[in-house]
Amino acid sequence: MPAYLIGIDVGTSSAKTLVMDERGNIVFTIAPEYDFATPRPGWAECNPEDWWTAILAALKAVFEQTDVRAEDIAGIGLTGQMHGLVLLDAAGQVLRPCIMWNDQRTAQQCAAITGKVGARRVLELTGNPVLSGFTAPKVVWVRENEPEIFAQAAKILLPKDYIRYRLSGEYFTDVSDASGMALLNVAKRDWSNEMLEACGIPRSWMAEVTESPIASTRVNAAAAALTGLKEGTPIIAGGGDQAAGAVGCGIIQEGIVSATFGTSGVVFAHSDEYRVEPEGRLHAFCHAVPGKWHLMGVMLSAAGSFQWYRNALGGEEIAAGRAIGEDPYTLLTRAAETAPAGSEGLLFLPYLSGERTPHPDPNARGVFFGLSLRHAKPHLTRSVLEGITFGMRDSLELMRGLGIAPTEVIASGGGAKSPFWRQMMADIFGASITTNNASEGAALGAAILGGVGAGVFDSVESACASTLQETSRVEPESAQKLYAALYERYTALYPALKGEFRALARVMEELG
């Protein structure tokens, strides 16, 4: 009898659900959508019932549109948007809409928690500063602003764990998702009494926390009747979307790092030990691989800078692309290849939306530095790609500073489509750049974790080995030396300009 695994990703805008067989073939995917609301500027809320409705529709589609039978499903792995606050009363009823990861209302609460515990101690305990997206300051916000709701609260769940609750009636979470709450002792992989006390949260409100590939609970009779799943089907703890996504693309041993060149950029490294960047410039979270951790740097405008460039200065390529049926990005990168490595001394700072890693600074802005009469459009294009890649190297250097030695960087996201850019990544990072066939992201990682928890695979490592294949590889070439020297100049620019970014922001605020 074939064994199938279901991976469910409770995402920001859809519930991606996939079915995978025991050899790693994806046999079905579907992603019913839902919305979130912005009741005030900077707020983001959604209704947990909408996730559940979407998941019921997804499971119905699995049984209606495939030959998979409920008794063939070996396990269900869960993942989802991190950091969201789902607040339940003692009867398990949702008390208010979920306050989501991208909600920014809690600046005051973050400062208060940090003041109480001490910035250094927070970093030591939780691996991160208290950030406004994280769950703990949201709970404090509800206490201060909605005391009548807070008085009824009895449980706190993360989005994917609310779905587990609906499927099983039980309260469980996993270490990787729990790491994004500012309430977990990330070194000990258990709740931190010190953080809970500082936030005024009773420990009894917290779900039981386990490692990610653990079958923590099972589908109950009520959920079986609603979904068509078999009662007793194991539900695996799963992971936060970043950790599950990393499992889905094979970032499961030390030395392997991923660099996602999407609109924003993420550099993600597996770590065998608990390592914390002393200034908190990298996120340090528990990984979904049992007993391991991960480090993560986030660049706000990575390939997004190239998109800006295409829109602002690539009108010609957009028109030509339309006429000949070519992607304007391909036309731009083809022309950029005609400029020499290093763009003849032209540097680009990609801080178009401010920056997060390594310079958490909302006032930082984009810069072309070193323009001369020699520079033509191909130089500008090339320097944008180089600047983005230097920005990603910043995260990699922080990781190297903590003792991570990347031997291989797995590139993904839109920027990794370009072979020219991938060679530039190898030269600038000083590491092999590979791509692989992972395309299903966190939902695939959840299904893999599900397979390990259900006993279909022996370990996360063997599951990844049987589901992932390398699709390209490039090694650093001679431009590496020049790029090493230019990277030093690149890193000197932000400190030199920091004060001016602030001064410019002030002028624009007062007079602009």
Task: Give the residue numbers of the binding site for substrate.
Answer: 82-83
Of 9, 103, 174, 241, catalytic: 241
Q: Phi first, then psi: give them for residue 282, nearest 5 degrees.
A: -115, 145
Task: Give the residue numbers of the binding site.
Answer: 82-83
CA distance 240 to 433: 25
Please count the other Cβ atoms lying within 10 Å of the Cβ belonging to residue 190: 13
Minimum gap (Å) between residue 133 Cβ and ligand ADP: 17
Report whether 184 contacts 111 (CB < 8 A). no
Of 81-120, binders to ligand ADP (CB under 6 A) are none
CA distance 39 to 46: 10
Q: Is 327 exposed, middle or buried (0-12, 13-18, 19+ CB in 10 A)?
A: middle
Q: What is the DSSP string of 406-451?
A: -SEEEEESGGGG-HHHHHHHHHHHTSEEEEES--SHHHHHHHHHHH
> Closest CB to ligand ADP belongs to which residue?
414
Select the residue interacting with ligand ADP from 22, 89, 194, 327 (CB under 6 A). Answer: 327
Task: Please tell me whether residue 421 binds ligand ADP under the rule CB under 6 A.
Answer: yes
Q: Which one, of 395, 396, 386, 399, lies nearest residue 431 by Cα?
A: 396
Q: Which is nearer to ligand ADP, 229 or 300 (CB)?
A: 300
Q: How many chain residues interact with ligand ADP (CB under 6 A)?
A: 16
Of 296-315, binders to ligand ADP (CB under 6 A) are 303-304, 306-307
Task: Please tell me whether residue 14 binds ligand ADP under the rule CB under 6 A.
Answer: no
SS3 40: coil
Of 359-418, binders to ligand ADP (CB under 6 A) are 413-415, 417-418
Select the residue interacting with ligand ADP from 141, 285, 329, 348 (CB under 6 A). Answer: 329
Site string for ligand ADP, 255-284 (x = CB under 6 A): -------xx---------------------
Q: Which is nearer to ligand ADP, 329 or 490 (CB)?
A: 329
Q: Which is nearer to ligand ADP, 169 or 413 (CB)?
A: 413
CA dist 212 to 20, 22, 454, Å?
Answer: 18, 19, 12
Q: Which is nearer to ligand ADP, 414 or 430 (CB)?
A: 414
Minimum gap (Å) between residue 306 Cβ and ligand ADP: 3
Task: Please tell me whether residue 337 binds ligand ADP under the rule CB under 6 A.
Answer: no
Cα angle value 102/108/114 (rounded, 5°): 95
Q: Which is nearer to ligand ADP, 11 or 304 (CB)?
A: 304
Q: Is 241 a catalytic residue?
A: yes
Q: What is the DSSP string of 317-362?
A: HHHHHHHHT--HHHHHHHHHTTSPTTGGG-EEE--BTBB-SS--BT
Tell me the catalytic residues: 241
Chain residues in the site for ligand ADP (CB under 6 A): 262-263, 303-304, 306-307, 327, 329-330, 333, 413-415, 417-418, 421
